[in-house]
Amino acid sequence: MRTNHEIDYRIFGEEMQCVEIELDPQETVIAEAGAFMYKDQSIQMQTVFGDGSNDSGGFMGKLMGAGKRLLTGESLFMTTYTQNGGGKARVAFASPYPGKIIPLDLQEMGGKVVCQKDAFLCAAKGVSVGIEWQRKLGTGLFGGEGFIMQKLEGDGLAFVHAGGHIIERTLQPGEVLHIDTGCVVAYTKDIDFDIQMIGGIRNTIFGGEGVFFAVLRGPGKVWLQTLPISRLASRIIQYAPQTGSRREEGGLLGGLGNLLDGDGR
């Protein structure tokens, strides 16, 4: 039997998805601040320290849970949504940028999944959202996510979000996968995560893929994203207007366009 709340869900959309959670009376779901989309009237919102999974730990336990979230760059607070009426009610949470929502049944995954520190979207009450320290110095310094990642623990449903399309790989014992560090979304607890320098001076200087890639060794499951938010942000910055003038798309034509629309300087 599960110790976390049991929830049902549906995922809507393709590129900009949302997940709708169905709650029975007194069932609760927790979510990141800013993820809320809509809810039925009988569902009550409440802001709590941390993830609400350590209610019996007193104030200090809640404070420590919130402090761990602060280390991952998240807010000290999370929001709980509880169905206080009779019958079923629904609440929905939306993804923050184009991509996919990944449902994770922690009971089927050994009770723990490690993920990017900004990937968590929502989960059944009882799921603990903590921190995962990278034990290896090289992984922490060059692994793309620093020393700290998020860990989701429990036996309930949790939902994470990632950019672009999602690839799920199941690695056999000893099987190794080399991945761009920004494309790793999540992996199960038995996966060994390390980093490795890209070999060859030409690959390092002219390859355009960075100096390191992630090395994941099975057994376990790995979830990968085709569009890391850092990659998307760098492209937006690249084409954003700078010092008051717009990005030129093509030499003379771009300059002529600026003159025609009154933006020539």
Q: Please report whether residue 253 resides in a domain.
A: no
> How confident is the model over 142-191, as pLDDT tens digits?
444 444 788 999 999 999 999 999 999 999 999 999 988 889 999 999 99
Task: List, in sequence order, every residue forming a beta bridge with 148; answer none if it has no partner.
Answer: 133
Domain limits at 80?
8-241
pLDDT digits (tens, 9 = 90+) for 98-139: 899 999 999 999 999 999 888 999 999 999 888 887 655 444
> Is there a domain that residue 257 lies in?
no
Higher-confidence position of 35 and 205: 35
Identify the pLDDT of residue 222: 96
Segment 39-91, tens digit of pLDDT: 999 999 998 876 666 554 555 555 555 555 555 555 667 899 999 999 999 99
> Is the residue at 264 inside a domain?
no
Number of domains in the chain: 1
Task: Give the CATH number for residue 64.
Answer: 3.60.160.10
Q: For residue range 204-239, what is the model confidence (pLDDT) as tens digits?
A: 444 444 567 888 999 999 999 998 877 777 778 877
